[in-house]
Amino acid sequence: MTFFQNPPRLENTWALDPSLQLHLERLLGAEMLAELTPSLDRMGMMAAGELLELAEHAENNPPRLVQYGPYGHRIDRIETPSSWKAMGRVAAEAGIVAIPHERRHGWRSRLHQLALLHLYTPSSAEFSCPLAMSDGAVTALRRYAAGQPFADRAVARLMSRDPDQAWTSGQWMTEKEGGSDVGRSSTVARFEGGVWRLYGTKYFTSATTSECTLTLARPEGAPEGSRGLSLFYLEPWGAEGQANGLTVRRLKDKLGTRALPTAELELDGALAEPVGDLDGGLRKIASVLNVARYFNTSAAISSMARSTMMSRAYARVREAFGHPLDALPLHVETLADMQVQYEAGLAVGVRLAELLGKVECGEATEIEQGTWRLLTPLAKLGTGKQCVAVASEALEAFGGAGYVEDTGLPRLLRDAQVLPIWEGTTNVLSLDALRAIAREDALEALLADLRARLAPCTHPLLRASVAAVQQAAVEIARFAAALGDDPAGAQCGARTFALSLYRTYAAALLCEAAQWEILHRPSRRLLTSTRRWIDAGLTRLLHHDPSRLDDSLALIG
């Protein structure tokens, strides 16, 4: 008989995720979780069914740039398939952007959003990107431009749960001079005839078909560098789709995220509104960046969830050497390693959502504020690196099928690879962590928070793990104390330092969740994950050595 391999079947992703359920019960309480469960269950079903089909359709029908109309007029229309728009409707109806701003459950609303996002994102072909920008835009517009009619109008649209009314926002920050060194931006804002108009090239605009966007520009005469930048709001497309003083040079041909319309734009008099006064544009857009980094973290964690789910589903149906893969010890070990990565990322993600919610609701203590500021870059960089490794492992767990396009699996890796890159690369975020430590005493806060996470972990099964985390925290504090003396040395070691801090803080969060699990559940999933995460090593600190940079320069010379 001819052999055909059974394909893996993805099922309700909410039902398949006991760890997500555990964290939500731990942090929201059983009553609130019971209230939210029907909507999470619905999203989990959709993620394995109609949403996934929409995402696959959008992926196979990427955006198309139509530069000229039938009679030769320049029209610059970016066309997206109906499936792309339909994914936006699903998000609006579920309230993914609205929930944390409506705050029906106070700061816990961020956790509600995270749970929905977690289920939505891996089946959304990156529609989560416009959602991230929209959420960040609501945050910035409410904070800096509340009462300005354009801002109030946009916020109402961005938060709308009515799919016919709902807008999304883009964010245009990157210029040719760089996506990291934003202070070099050369877009100019001119005040002409009583209105502001923008001129310049935006080299990487995300969510370009969105109805509104936030962007940076330098008002004429303002100083060089980041201090001279202002934050502007604009609506790129008129009611009939006509461009607002801009042309589309091209769509970006990206490794992944192929359904997402990312473009290169030339602004030639685009009408714009300053967000509040003209001061502190970079500081203002940092509020968008920090929300987008939280979304990026969520996307990375949910990518790990999808990679592990798909690999486990395949291991159940694939036989080799006389057994299903999930009965082969080495394969089981590999799947378990992937799960540990996911568990650590998830523990960090839910803590970040909790802290962001508290900060936004004005309920964070000083320690929580500092922890949130530092955890945002750490979570983004840590989970960004993890999800690429886990996606790569998932493809390998499928053997050759993982490398073949029509299985849909290569997309897992392509789409994961963007997550360490956009919203700040690993190195830029490592430096942001140093910025938070130097300017806001954030390390002290995070280490105090780490001790507070460990304090309730008194179960004897956790004793060795708690001791290991405490020891790593001492090493980190000692290392950080030595960093201040030499800025170049600090930069060299920033990445290993940030990753060590990420791993150590994640271990403390795992201990905390494991303690809860021991007390409330018969399972020991978190305890096992905690031990394995710690066994893999928490710190790897590049100890200060003034000759290191010279040695490195010689190596690459």
Positions in the binding site for ligand MFK (CB under 6 A): 126, 128-129, 132, 171, 173-174, 179-180, 182-183, 206, 226, 280, 282-283, 286, 289-290, 292, 295-296, 299, 422-424, 428, 432, 435
Q: Are 22 and 111 in contact (CB under 8 A)?
A: no
Which ranges constitute the DSSP H helices of 186-328?
A: 281-317
Whole-number minimum distance, CB 91 to ligand MFK, in Å? 12
Task: State the DSSP H helix or E strand holding residue 217, giving kind and residue range, or none if neither.
Answer: strand 212-219
Task: CB nearer to ligand MFK: give 175 or 517.
Answer: 175
β-bridge mates for residue 234, sequence order: 213
Taking the CA of residue 346 as centre, how many other CA atoms within 13 Å lie in the half-sphere pointing to its CB?
A: 31
State the nearest-atom distance from the C-beta of 490 to ligand MFK, in Å: 14
The CA distance from 131 to 96, in Å, is 8
Q: How far is CA 459 from the centre of its chain?
A: 33
Nearer to ligand MFK, 66 or 488 (CB): 488
- The smaller minimum CB distance to ligand MFK, of residues 185 and 465, is found at 185
Give the torsion through C-alpha atoms of 411, 93, 297, 383, to 10 deg.
-40
* Residue 216: CB minimum distance to ligand MFK, A: 10
- Helix (H) or strand (E) holding 110, with range, is helix 108-120
Widest pairwise Cα distance in the chain: 79
- Whole-number minimum distance, CB 535 to ligand MFK, in Å? 31
Q: What angle do CA 287, 343, 115 make, to 5 degrees?
A: 50
Cβ distance to ligand MFK smaller for residue 414 or 435: 435
Q: CB 248 → ligand MFK: shortest distance, Å?
A: 17
Cross-strand partners of 216:
231
Q: Tokens standing for 237?
A: 């497309």
The answer to whether the CB of 205 falls within 8 A of the CB of 422 is no
180 versus 201: smaller Cβ distance to ligand MFK: 180
CB of 358 to ligand MFK, least distance (A): 16
The 3-class secondary structure across 162-221, one letter per residue, is CCCCCCCEEEEEEECCECCCHHHCCCEEEEECCEEEEEEEEEEEECCCCCEEEEEEEECC
Per the CB < 8 A criterion, the answer to whether 446 and 375 are in contact is: yes
Nearer of residues 182 and 310 to ligand MFK, judged by Cβ: 182
Closer to ligand MFK by Cβ: residue 205 or 500: 205
Nearer to ligand MFK, 431 or 534 (CB): 431
CA separation for the pair 440, 436 (Å, rounded): 5
Min dist. Cβ of residue 377 to ligand MFK (A) = 7
Report the nearest approach of ligand MFK to the CB of residue 329 (Å). 36
